[in-house]
Structure 1
Amino acid sequence: TVRDFVSMAFKAVDINLEWVGSAENERGIDVSTGKSLVQINPKFYRPSEVELLIGNPEKARNVLGWEAKTGLEELCRLMVEADLRRNKNGTSF
């Protein structure tokens, strides 16, 4: 879920989130400071979350010979580190 990925991203910089509220009122709170760090933007809120999403890399492996070498958590950490470097250099999204 988006929530899981956001938690993973914050974990990459040693911030643990606690999720409070529900639906469009859900927020991610920094456990150590109590500060609200994540809130839902109503523009992007999707009220009917798809409960089961299944990805299967078998076709990529069979057709292209491709195989993942980086797990999701490691990929998330690399993305966070790259964003922090860009931000430090004055580039932000």
Structure 2
Amino acid sequence: MTNFLQNMAGMGGMTDQVIATDFLNSAKSGIRNTAFAITETASPELRAALREQLRSAVETHGLISDYMVSKGYYHPLDISEQSKVNLKAANTALNLSQQ
């Protein structure tokens, strides 16, 4: 997205990496919440539906992770490189808050 369109949409410095990271974090949160809901559910029908939702959420998480790895946004097997990416993302977030 061009800077002009980003500014028009009120997105400022939103990047594909920021969006993908937020999507990945949301998927992780959904997985945790769904797993918790399964343990709290007494209805076999609801439990089955939640298991299917959990399966789908885990699959989506995998797709997002694969995308992020392919773009160089996520390095789950290289802690040193991931630390650099995390530091850069933190600095970007700080810069966005100052705009």
Q: Is the pair's TM-score, using the shorter chain for normalization, greater than 0.5?
A: no
Q: Give the TM-score normalised by the residue count of structure 1.
A: 0.27
**Higher relative helix content:** 2
Based on CA coordinates, which of the two structures has the bigger radius of gyration? 2
Structure of higher RCO (CA pairs closer than 8 Å, 6+ residues apart): 2
Q: Give the TM-score normalised by the residue count of structure 2.
A: 0.25
